[in-house]
Amino acid sequence: MIGVGKTTLTKLISDHLGTKPFYEPVADNPVLPLYYSDPKQYGFLLQIYFLNRRFSMIKSALADDNNVLDRSIYEDALFTEQNHLDGNISDQEMSVYNELLDNMMSELQGLKKKAPDLMVYADTDFDTILYRIKKRARPYEQFENNPSLRDYYHKMWAAYKQWFDDFDKSPKMRVDLQRWNLEDPKNQEVVLSMIDDKLAEIRGGNHGASIKIA
């Protein structure tokens, strides 16, 4: 979910494990502001843009044992399906997207490493999400005068909970970034220790891993 703290957590893990971070393309995404201004016109274009970038990122990340992604191809369909339900993507566009995604996922199965070692689900309550979106002040993300955008955020926040329950591509863990607010260095140590413990459980004590943050 946007505003939950993925970028901060990704940098912490990357620095901690001495790994390469892969960040979601936001600042250099020319389609994202267009989408926020007119979701129905740019919904499909945005999802194809993200899908292409996420496919490239995860192929690069899985080529090495020790990388961290702040978002990945595995959750891309969650956003596309919501855009489809909201009428921003047509049935035909959804069909094209699903065929393309299936082809990409099939190609990933041909790689030596086929999935991340661990998926870390960053979670907070919805009010915290809204507070952090306001605090980082990206103009096109602001919702105070846009109730439909606020509703969209809430739908995605709720959908992610079910997505986490259903995710089965790799081992997974949930981190409560409301309880363990990463602005506190002591909380950073706690969260990194929890991730270390989970990686040790998965990899028999070897903490190097490819990780994705959701």
| Range of lowest pLDDT (38-47, 106-115, 120-129) | 106-115
- What is the per-residue pLDDT across 81-119, written as a single tens digit (0 to 9) for each? 999 999 999 999 999 999 999 999 999 988 888 888 999
Active site residue 70: yes
| pLDDT tops 70 at residue 60 | yes
Given pLDDT bands bounded at 50, 70 and 90, which one contains residue 207?
A: very low
**pTM for the whole thing?**
0.84
For residue 193, give the nearest of 204, 213, 177, 207 by alpha carbon: 207
70, 102, 165, 166: the catalytic one is 70
Task: List the beta strands (DSSP E) in the chain.
Answer: 20-22, 67-69, 118-123, 172-176, 211-213
Binding-site residues for substrate sit at 24, 36, 47, 71, 76, 141
Beta bridge partners of 213: 120
Binding-site residues for ATP sit at 132-136
pLDDT of residue 10: 94
| pLDDT tops 90 at residue 191 | yes
| Range of lowest pLDDT (16-25, 85-94, 151-160, 177-186) | 16-25
Average per-residue pLDDT in the chain?
Answer: 90
Q: Determine how β-strand 172-176 pairs with β-strand 211-213.
A: unpaired
- Which CATH homologous superfamily contains domain 6-213? P-loop containing nucleotide triphosphate hydrolases (3.40.50.300)
